[in-house]
Structure formats: C-alpha cells, structure tokens
Structure 1
Amino acid sequence: MPSLSHELLRAHSISWCNVGPVSADGGVSMMTIEDCREFYAREVKFAASATTPGLVEAFAKVPREKFLGPGPWQIGSAEGRAMSAAGLGQLSYTTVEDPRDVYHNVVISLDRKKDINNGQPGSLACWIDALRLKPGERVYHLGCGVGYYTAIMAEVVGPSGSVIGLELQPDLAARAKENLADYANVSVEAEDGAAFDPGECDAILVNCGVTHPQTRWLERLREAGRLVVPFTLAVNATIGQGVMTKIVRSNGIYAAELVSPVAIFSGGNLRDASLQTQLLKGLTTGGLLKLKSVRMDAHEAGETCVVHTREVCLSLAEEK
C-alpha cells in the first residue's frame, strides 16, 4: 500500500521522476536533477530499444532544460500530439516549473504559435540509434532546431568526430548556436536545407518531413554512410505523416529499410507538392513501408517505383 507521503505527492501532481526512495519512517527524498536525467535516459533507452554505445549516456548527460530556454515549460499531451499529427488541431499543453519535470519522454513546446516542439526523445533516440554512430564520425543534422539532439549526437561521436547542425528558421538557429557554443566539435548554420552542401558525411539525420531525398544527400554519404530521413504526406500546412527510412550507401548502391512510422514538422522547400499523390498511394498500399532501395539511374516509372522523380526513385527493387 502506498504511504501517505506518496498519496500526497500524487494528489499534488508531483512527477514520480522527482521522488526518491521511501525512508524507514515513511517519508520520501526528492531526486536531484542528475538523478532525473539518469531515470530519463533509461526511459528513453527502453522507448527506443537503443543499443548504440554512448547514446543512453548522452541522454543522461546533456541538460535538456538548457536547450529549452528558461522555464516555465509547456509539455504536450500524448492525446493532443496524436490530434496534431492527424491534422485535427494543435497540441494541448501542461505548464511545469521544476526543471526535473522535463526529464520524461514527452514533447516540450519551443513556439506555441507555430506548433513547434523539442521532439519526442524516444523517437529521436530511435532515429539516432538507426544511424549507428561511432566515435570520430562526421554527422549532418538537418533541422536541428535549438540543438538538443545535435548535442546528443556530438556526445556520441566524441571530440574526434563532428556534427554540422542546419536550421532554416533564424530564431531557432540563433538559439542552437548559443546552446552549442561549448561544443568544439559542433557548427551551426542558418541556411536553406535544399541548397546547403554539408560536404562528405558518415551519417545524416533529416529532422523534417520531405517528399524525396535530395541527390546531394546521397552523393555526400561516404562509403557505408547512413541517411535517416522522413518521407511524409502533408496532412496540413505544417505537419506530415509517413515513414522514417534508413538509407545506406554501399558500392554505389543505396539500400533502404523502414525505421519507424513518423509524424513530423514539414520541411518547406524540401518538398515537391506534385509527389503528394504518389506518397498517398505509397502509404495506403504499404509500398513506403517496404522500400528496398533508392535509385538514381535513369529509368521509366514501373511497378517497383513507389515515388518516382527524374533524379531519384524510392523503389521496391533490391539493387545489386
């Protein structure tokens, strides 16, 4: 049976992350923010089934509240997130003032008017885990927001590696630069993702919904390089739904596989509205969930083409 102290905590909606062990007299001790980060990192690990060495430790180390800006903070509800993802309205939020309360697998608002949030940690951990980052690698993070997950990746690749963060929105890019100023292995650019050239990379994470991969991303992958990118169908002016896909370069071939379903902020000029019909068909028939390759060779659209353009094709065919 819970102690009276725990019942009071529940009645006053105090986060269980903040509650430490029960003492012999039935009282409770409050967790430090470092304790909460450890608790949160374990929560994220299991939400993402993450296995990349150093990734869970990075979530336990990087101070999320620093990247969110001064409190109080607005935490998005799971129900509201589902409604927003379905294009049925904006997220609903709960206000918290204790920085320990941001250490849960929840989205936290960055801009209520634009419906921009800090991302679901469990989802981002899953996508970062799919990149299989290693110390010393060079990473490109397109759509870095305020830089929190950029910092996570910088911790994983270590001082011998590097991360380039790109953010189109100047206000978010400015915050990211300030937040990441202490990371010597990180640079942040405020530029257009369609035009920016990151140079050769071992890994690329695209953190906004697109209709197709840019050829430059594929060309800039080194041998065995990995690209994780969301191909989404626009459901309203800002949000898209679709699939997070991993693409791996090997001997000039780009193999593709499903990572997870996704609902994410759309990437503006990284989208081609003329591909909306192909994306809709790819989602309704399940083709986007079964991608095997991304082709850049010239060919006519055929049965194995799920999303076909002049430059790239999301394909069901296994390239050899």
Structure 2
Amino acid sequence: MTLDAVRSRFADELRARKGLRSEALVRALSKVERERFVGAGPWLVLRVPEGYTSTPDSSPEHLYADVAVAIDAARLMNNGAPGLVAPMIDALDLRAGERVVHVGCGTGYYTAILAEIVGREGRVEAIEIEPESVARARESLRGYPQVEVIRSDGSRYRAASPDAILVTAGATHPRREWLDALAPGSRLVVPLTAVSIPGRMARFGRSLAGRVLRVVAEPGGLRAEFVETVGISFCHGARDLDHERRLREALVHGGAGTVASLRRDPHEPDASCWLHGEGFCLSTRPVA
C-alpha cells in the first residue's frame, strides 16, 4: 500500500471513529505528511495505557495511527494524537478563506492541516513559545505561504479579528485576550483541564483531564458548550491555581452538559453559574 493510500485510510478511519463532519478536514488529514513534522524515525509513540514505545522501524506508515509522537520525550513534549486534536479542529467549523490563530502550534503538523482547510486565500497565525519548536515549524511549513509562525506566549497574544482561535494545550480558564478577539461569528475552541488522571499516563505529560470548550460569538453574547472530554498537556500562561481549583470542583460536581453561554458581564454567582471565574462565567443561561 502506498503512503497516500495509508493516509487516506487513516483519515477515513478517524472520521468514522470520531464522527468528523468536515470534509475539508478529512481531506487535509489524508494529504498532510506527518513525518515532515516529527523528525526522523524510528519514533517514540505514546499509547494508552502502555506509555512510550518505539516504532519497529522508520517507515512513516507507523505515524498514521491515533498516537501521540514524542518531539522531546525527556521534556514530555509530543505531537498530539490525531483522535484528540482532529475533533477540536472539527468543532471550529472552518471555511475556506478564514483567518485562524493556532495557540500552541508545536512543530506545525496541525497548523498544516488548518492551512489546508482555509486554503491559500486564508491565513493561519501559528503561535509557539518554545524556540526549538518555532524553528522546526517554520522550516516544515515553508510550503504554506498563508502560515506565519510567531514566537510568542499564546496566552497573551492579541489577534486582530480572527475568524477562529484554536488552543491545543490545556488551560484552566479562557484568557481575556482570546475572548476580547471574538467578534460576531468567530469561534474559540480550548481545552479546560483540572482533574488528575490516575495511573501510568500521568507520567507522560497528560496528567490533567477536562473538557473541550467551544465558544461562538453571537450578536447577543457568547454561546458556549463543552464538546469533548480531553487529557492534554499544559498551556503556558493560561493556568493558575485558583481557577484550577474552581474548574476541578465544577468538573467533579458534574453538569458540564448544561453550559449554554459564557458571560462577561459583572454579576454575583447564582444558580445559573456552572463555573464563576474572574472576568468570565460559564453559565446555564442561554444567549438572549
């Protein structure tokens, strides 16, 4: 089987297993060469619950599976599993020509997938704080003129009127900078994580679990919903202990499926507040 056929089969299997809706996303998964973004093989891949294991050889075929691939195993830095990240991209409802901000782009594999979806008429701003990853992403993404890789703290990056913001690392709260960038019609997808994962996987950089939050800006406010469960590494600058405690208590208490909006207006906590934070509230009250 050719590598093109392997990628196509991988994309179709991921669509079936994860219920991916976007045809453009499936096409991108079948096209982008993951091996360009993860260094030379053999590779250390991360499976649940085994942990890191080495691929038997350097054939790129091993990369087209639902596994994370170590970028720097000593630092627990991975190219995340497609089954984790692809549903987050799907939740953005991206269209050709749109402008996307990707916070935590790593070495650029999922940035390339975003670039394929929005096309040459779109734009992707890929934000990464690790200098080695920035250098690798810039090199690997040279074929995408619509992509700009920016070394910056993504939690403080102020984007100008993006259509979508994707955060591929775990936060304890939606940052003010991300929310300020949302205009009617724009979307934010971010994992909110605070619950410890028991067992062996806690040793491999996936020590906190939570839910993926999707926020859509509407004229009457910010519609919000949780779309996926998730276990993912930390987002630098988007975590603090107080918000982590509040989020953990809310997740353990349950009821995440009742969240309908993200409120930013000052108000006292009431029965509609699923998670009342500093400067935001995840509320069961729908957008007016």
TM-score (norm 2): 0.92
AA in 1 matched with 2:175:
Q
- How far, CA to CA, are the matches of 2:87 and 2:185 in structure 1? 19
Are 1:150 and 2:111 matched, yes or no? yes
Alignment check: 8 A CA contact 1:53 1:156 kept: no
Hey, what's the Cα distance between the residues in 2 that align with 1:146 and 1:118?
Answer: 8
- Indicate if the aligned counterparts of 1:226 and 1:246 stay in contact, CA closer than 8 A: yes
1:188-267 equivalent positions in 2, closer than 5 A: 188-233=149-194, 235=196, 239-267=207-235
Whole-Å Cα distance in 1 between the matches of residues 69 and 33 of structure 2? Answer: 14
1:285 to 249, 253, 264: 253
Q: CA RMSD in A?
A: 1.6
Distance 1:190 1:288 in 2: 34
d(CA) in 2 for partners of 1:53, 1:33: 20
Say which SS state the counterpart of residue 187 (structure 2) adopts: strand
Question: Does the 8 Å CA contact 2:220/2:287 hold for their aligned counterparts?
Answer: no
CA distance in 2, matches of 1:126, 1:171: 27
8 Å Cα contact 1:173-1:188 kept in structure 2: yes
User: How far apart in 2 are the matches of 1:290 and 1:230?
Assistant: 17
Counterpart of 2:55 in structure 1 is: 95
Give aligned pairs, total.
280
- Return the letter of the residue paired with 1:53: E
SS in 1 for 2:237: helix
Identity of aligned residues (%): 38
After superposing the two structures, state which structure 1 stretch, 241-250 or 52-61, moved more: 52-61
Select between 102-111 and 183-192 the one with higher mean Cα deviation.
102-111
Give the aligned residue type for 1:213: P
Measured after TM superposition, the shift of residue 70 of structure 1 is: 1.2
SS state at 1:79 partner: coil
Match of 2:73 among 104, 107, 112: 112
The residue number in structure 2 matching 1:271 is 239
**Aligned 1:179-190 pairs, distance under 5 A:** 179-190=140-151
Separation (CA, whole Å) in 2 of partners of 1:240 and 1:68: 24
2:8 equivalent to 1:38: yes
Correspondence for 1:48: 18
Q: Which amino acid aligns with 1:51?
A: R
Q: How far off is 1:234 after superposition?
A: 5.5
Distance in 2 of aligned mates of 1:167 and 1:39: 30
Letter paired with 2:9: F
Q: Report the secondary structure of 1:113's partner residue.
A: helix
Give the AA of the match of 2:152. E
In structure 1, how many angstroms separate the alpha carbons of the residues matched to 2:220 and 2:163? 15
Q: 1:20 maps to what in 2?
A: none
Deviation at 1:136, TM superposition (A): 0.5
Q: Which of 141, 161, 165 in structure 1 is aligned with 2:126? A: 165
Quickly say closer, same or farther: Cα 1:159–1:69, change in 2 above 3 A: same
Where does residue 14 of structure 1 map in the other structure? Answer: none
Q: Which residue of 1 aligns with 2:135?
A: 174
Distance 1:184 1:54 in 2: 19
Instruction: For 1:182 and 1:144, locate their aligned partners in 2 and report how far apart those are by CA, in whole Å.
Output: 16
Q: Which amino acid aligns with 1:73?
A: W
Query: Structure 2, unaligned stretches of length 5 or more?
Result: 197-201
Q: Matched residues in 2 for 1:168 and 1:307: separation? A: 29
Within 2, Cα distance between the matches of 1:312 and 1:252?
A: 16
Q: Which residue of 1 aligns with 2:38?
A: 68
Rg larger for: 1
Normalization by structure 1: what TM-score?
A: 0.83
Matched-pair contact (CA < 8 Å) for 1:275–1:307: no
Per the alignment, residue 16 of structure 1 pairs with: none
CA distance in 2, matches of 1:166, 1:259: 23
Unaligned runs of 5+ in 1: 1-30, 81-90
Report runs of 4+ in structure 1 exceeding 6 Å deviation. Answer: none
